[in-house]
Structure 1
Amino acid sequence: MNLAESVQALYAEYGALKGVTIEIYKQLIAVSVKNDAASATVFLQGAQVAEYKRVGEPSLLWLSEQCDYQRGKALRGGIPVCWPWFGDIDKNPDSVKCQVSADNPPAHGFVREQMWRLANVELIDSETTQITLELDVTPSELWPFSAALRLVVTVGSSLSLQFEVHNVGGQPFSFTSALHSYFNVAEVEAVEVLGLEGVEYIDTLEGWSRSCSSDPLRVAAEVDRIYRNVTGPIQINDPGFARQIKVTHSHAPDLVAWNPWVVKSIRLSHFADQDFHKMLCLESAHLLDNLQTLAPDQSYSMGLNCRISVT
């Protein structure tokens, strides 16, 4: 089906639901939902949550104004799904790298550039809407295995994501992955992140050296850290927006903290030179030796919940 036919088919199935609209952004299709608690927009390409906004409040997520909404190009911002590897393939464990034979495979895997299927939209109650997207992964040069992926997005007084992987083929495979959350902040220099004190992290900007800090995370320069085996929730204190964001993870032991700062911002695509002031990535993940291996017919799921408190 072409773009217009796809939108028409989605409208026929979901257009009568209260608060549900199907939208076209240039070459991409998105489903937007609105209920008594919040609104959200999710793109079918990549199953990417692009916006979540509680009634009367700023958006929880940052999305670049320079996105060009072209098919096959990942959006900068929101919550991309990174799978079956995170970052550059060469930075992944050998058991993940050896499965990929393609030259120059895309960073963060390939599913964020694929068209997912809108499997269901359900109005749970007046304040809760659930969106389910699915993707059937078939063997290719990029990934020689079969898998069924599902992302369930629950939009209500908080935002929840549940990402599921099912090995539907006859061979085991290993993977790393992340829910690559871009949080919208009023001014990143004024933000502090609690809950990572004393947690060991790998500083990729310092030769992948290991360190830890007893202080809350604050951003005053480029940051690219992998916090290992995070056991509790984290909290983003954002005085500019007068709010706290509590981020809870399930089956996601690692957390990546990233802000490109001044120099790298200039090199990034779909990223304005000053955008680093308004965003902070805190990515729920399982990486490095926390990779996952699934035997045939095994499944794995990881989750993320974001809850806002106004101060």
Structure 2
Amino acid sequence: MNLEYPIDIDLLDKKYSIEGEVGFMEMEGELPFISISNKYAQADICLYGAHVMSFTPHKTFELLWMSPDSFSEEGKAIRGGIPVCFPWFGPHKTDPQLPQHGFGRLTYWEVVETKSEATGETFIRFQLNASEATKTYWPYDFSAELAITVGAQLQLSLKVTNTSSEAFEYSCALHSYFNLSGIENIHIEGLQGTTYYNQLTNEHAVQEEQNLTISEPLTRHYLDTQSPVVISDPVFRRRIQVQKAGSQVTTLWNPGQEACLNIQDIPDEGYETFVCVEATNAFKHCITLAPGESHQTATTIGLDE
């Protein structure tokens, strides 16, 4: 099924580029993307999926992890960066043949605004609206907007509006992959005392440790939490803070060695250099919108200084 809209890089560049700050690019064999550079940071955002692929504050090096084996072609999801999972998170509830994590990351989003803020930050806004193509996957009328601000911190906000005549339910995530010196070197702060669903064992538990270390495969969904999380990486000499709003679930994921061997678009040892910390709405925290209602799921990523 075709979820594309025609991409005219020259037209987009003419309409939305900002000299010295925002440019549109299409390299041979690669998907088209936006390159942003300002006084705070550099970032790349792919038009396919409105997918942030790189965020590098000038004070440090790349915060996000991208798989060197990621696909870069229509019809396949990009591995790494920040995929937008929408309108469902994980497998579809009733049809496992439908794409994992929804169709939001498998379609081009339309650029509708670029702006240079007075503060020196850069603002980009994307939109994805219901179409005949999206209705082959999900029968509702909707408008989704992804607002991205690139500054000393990276801010993303996914706003979903119900434009149909009936209520609908959706789940979503901002599925952020973070670049690590090594999974054995880091610990994660901010989740002590929080109940989580362990997807690998199908059990619920409470995290007792103040600082979570990762030494085995991990798929945990922390429930009823909006607390900020810090990824402490002493070898890289930095602490990455992940804040969020409008999200009641924080998902942590690392596939571990054995599963990684069976993931085509991650190198066999790729699990060693990333962890996902995601702002999620799923499980008992799916979002229900009446006609005309909206909900925003947001995350802010930056150095904890």
TM-score range, shorter chain: over 0.9
Q: What is aligned with 2:57?
A: 54
Percentage of identical aligned residues: 29
5+ residue gaps, structure 2: none
CA contact (8 A) 1:27 1:71 kept: no
Residue of structure 2 aligned with 1:22, choices 12, 21, 24: 24
Q: What is aligned with 2:287?
A: 292
TM-score when scaled to structure 2? Answer: 0.93
Q: Which whole-Å deviations, capped at 9, do the CAs of 1:145-179 have from their partners, x for residues lacking one?
A: 01000001100011110110011111211011100
- Residue 107 of structure 2 aligns to which amino acid in structure 1? Q
User: 1:1-311 maps to which residues of 2 (within 5 A)?
Assistant: 6-25=8-27, 26-90=29-93, 97=94, 104-125=97-118, 127-138=120-131, 140-206=135-201, 208-215=202-209, 216-309=211-304
Q: Secondary structure at the match of 1:267?
A: coil
- Residue 203 of structure 2 aligns to which amino acid in structure 1? S
Q: Which whole-Å deviations, capped at 9, do the CAs of 1:229-283 have from their partners, x for residues lacking one?
A: 1132111101121001111110101011100110111111210011111100011
How far off its partner does 1:18 sit? 2.5
Q: Secondary structure at the match of 1:205?
A: coil
CA contact (8 A) 1:84 1:176 kept: yes
**Counterparts of 1:86 and 1:239, CA distance in 2:** 32
- RMSD between aligned residues: 1.8
Q: Which whole-Å deviations, capped at 9, do the CAs of 1:179-237 have from their partners, x for residues lacking one?
A: 0000111111111111111101111111x101112212111010011110113211110
Report how many aligned residue pairs link the two structures.
298
**Counterparts of 2:17 and 2:149, CA distance in 1:** 18
Deviates more, 1:4-13 or 1:62-71: 4-13
**Counterparts of 1:149 and 1:227, CA distance in 2:** 25
How far off its partner does 1:4 sit? 9.9
Q: Secondary structure at the match of 2:252?
A: strand
CA contact (8 A) 2:260 2:266 kept: yes
Q: Which whole-Å deviations, capped at 9, do the CAs of 1:114-141 have from their partners, x for residues lacking one?
A: 1100111111036300111111123522
- Residue 50 of structure 1 aligns to which amino acid in structure 2? M
CA contact (8 A) 1:63 1:182 kept: yes
5+ residue gaps, structure 1: 91-96
CA contact (8 A) 2:31 2:46 kept: yes
**Counterparts of 1:165 and 1:4, CA distance in 2:** 23
**Counterparts of 2:207 and 2:284, CA distance in 1:** 22
**Counterparts of 2:42 and 2:176, CA distance in 1:** 17
